[in-house]
Every structure is written in C-alpha cells, then in structure tokens.
Amino acid sequence: MKPIPLCLLVSLLFTATAYATENTNRTPSSRTMNVLKIGDTPLAKYRFGDVPFKPYIDELRTPSGKNILRDAPEDHLHHHGLMYALRVGSCSFWGEADANNGKQITVRHQSAGNFVESEVDWNTSESKTLLKEQRTIRIHQENGATFLDWHSTLTAVDDAVLGGEHYYGLGMRFVEEMDKDGRFFNDTGAHDGEIVRGDERLKRCRWMAYTANLAGAPVTVAVFDHPSNPVPMTAFTMGNAGGAFAYLSATMNLHREPVGLKARQSFAVKYRVAVWDGEVSPETIEAKYREFVR
C-alpha cells in the first residue's frame, strides 16, 4: 500500500524472477499444496510447502467454480491470495523484500478433504522463533455460498508485542478483473469510516463485503469477525481509485494499539470468509454472520 522505493523495486523484480524459476521447476503435490474440497468439488487451495515466506490460501472459489484470489501480482509480490500476517516486535511478516522480514515456516501439517491443520513457526530472518501458531482452516458449502473458516492461535515464545501497519491482518488480494468498479458495504449500512490515504479506509464493523464483476457476472465476498476475538475487527478496504487495486483485510487496529504478550501467552483469532455468485443483500450476509457467531 506504500509507494515502493526504487531499491526495493529492483529487489522485487529479482524475487519475481526467482519465483518464476521455482514455479517452473516444481510441480505442486500433496507435500506442498492441499486442495480443499467437498466431495469431488474443489473449493480452495492451500499452499504451504513451496513458499519462501508464508503459507496461504492460493485459490477460493464461488459455488459455480470462479476463483476470486490472486497470488503475487507484479505490483505487490508479497500479496498472496488470502494470507495472515502481523508484525512481531520489529519483525514484519507482511513484507518480503526487507532484511527484517520474517518467515512463517510450516513445521507440522495434516489435511483431509475440507480442512487443514498446521503448526507454523513465525521466525526472524535469523531463524529465531517468535511465535508458534496452531492454524486450522476448514471449508464448507451451503445455501449457495462457499465458507472458509480461519482459526489461528499464536503463542509467544518470549515476551512479544504484536503490531503492524493499518492493513496487517487476514488480507485478501482479488483477481485483476475484480479491481474494477467494485462496491464495499458492511453491517452498519454505509461504507464510510476513517480515510487513511486515497480511498483506503478503516471501518469498525462486524462484517465487510465486496461485490465486483468476474467473468461477466457479479460475485460477492465477505469477511466475518467473531465476538471471541481478543480485539474487534477493523476492516481495511482499498478500492481502485487512481488505477490502484481492490483489497480487503480484517485488521485489529494494531498500528495504534499494539498487543503485548508474555512468554507462553496465547492470542487466538477466528474469522470466516464467505463467497457467493451474484450480488448478495446485506440482510442475507447479516443472517449468515449470525449463524457463524452462534
């Protein structure tokens, strides 16, 4: 979201070449990527074994099979579909071009059908583990919608402070076609909130949704907060004003109010991402949100 300095741009271009070389020489397998499905219908892909910085949801599909997520676009190579990242102390797990960026390393992993369970170490560039994460991702489908539940429990190895920029959290980058002429809306009835830069906004809400066209027809995606989360969700949204791109992130306002953890203290978050074909009313989304929090 911040302008990219020339030195970082060169680094990013080099990284893009490395990514391309890696992807050319590797064929994804069950040791590097899981296909989450209901029966024989694939609904999402979780990539964890061939990633240099963080595991993430590579694809998430509407009930008709349209993928809404984009991985490592040239403008921001560190945007990976649906991903979860914060800053721990001075170590950022969001970016990937700086020497002080950390890496989320999968140390244990299992999957079956519609879910994955992983143990993920959040390591500094010097391989010091700052957090140990228990991550569970489960997907299901009902009443014409695809639902993905993301649960993460972060446990501090030593005393730690969780922070980050205003967009850090559970974020998703949409496919390029969805960058154009989309519309954000939420449970409060208006897409307003604090303007950060340009059309970047922060809005305290229970859920935030985005509707845009994909393959000639509208699709709708929403992210739900959960009342058990230690910090209420502040939704970060970014539209396509000025030729930029669309982005949606569930944040916790950590850029203003960092959270301190004692050694072995845990911090657990729970979110749901919902995807529909077509335009969906706020009333329908609110009903699905209420089902989730029950």
- Edge-first strand order for the sheet with 183-186 is 103-112, 115-123, 129-142, 145-156, 266-277, 217-224, 207-214, 183-186
Which residue's structure tokens are 């009333």?
283
Q: What is the pLDDT of residue 140?
A: 97
Q: Indicate if the pLDDT at residue 15 is higher than 90.
A: no
Strand partners, 197: 200
At 243, the pLDDT band (50, 70, 90 cuts) reads low
For residue 20, what are its two tokens? 């391309």
Of 268, 177, 171, the C-alpha closest to 223 is 171
232 φ/ψ sector (left φ>0, alpha ψ -120 to 50, else beta)? beta
Under DSSP, the state recorded for 290 is: H
Q: What is each CA distance from 12 to 5, 23, 271, in whole angstroms?
A: 10, 16, 30
**Residue 129 to residues 75, 126, 154, Cα–Cα distance (Å):** 30, 9, 12
Given a cut of 70, is residue 37 above it in pLDDT? yes
- Whether residue 115 has pLDDT greater than 80: yes
Q: Which two tokens stand for residue 217?
A: 């027809």
What's the pLDDT score for residue 170? 98
The tokens of 238 are what?
């970014």
If we measure between CA atoms, which residue out of 165, 172, 154 comes closest to residue 223?
172
pLDDT in tens, 264-289: 999 999 999 999 999 999 999 999 99
Report the side by side order of strands in the sheet with 160-163: 91-92, 87-88, 160-163, 259-261
Element housing 287 (H / E): helix 282-293
Question: How confident is the model at residue 203, as a pLDDT?
Answer: 97
Identify whether the C-beta of residue 154 lies closer than 8 Å to the C-beta of residue 267: yes
Enter the pTM of the model.
0.89
| pLDDT single digits (tens) 94-107 | 999 888 899 999 99
**pLDDT given at position 14:** 39
Domains of the chain: 6-293 (2.70.98)
- Given this model, what pLDDT does residue 190 score? 77
pLDDT of residue 31: 77
pLDDT score recorded for residue 294: 92
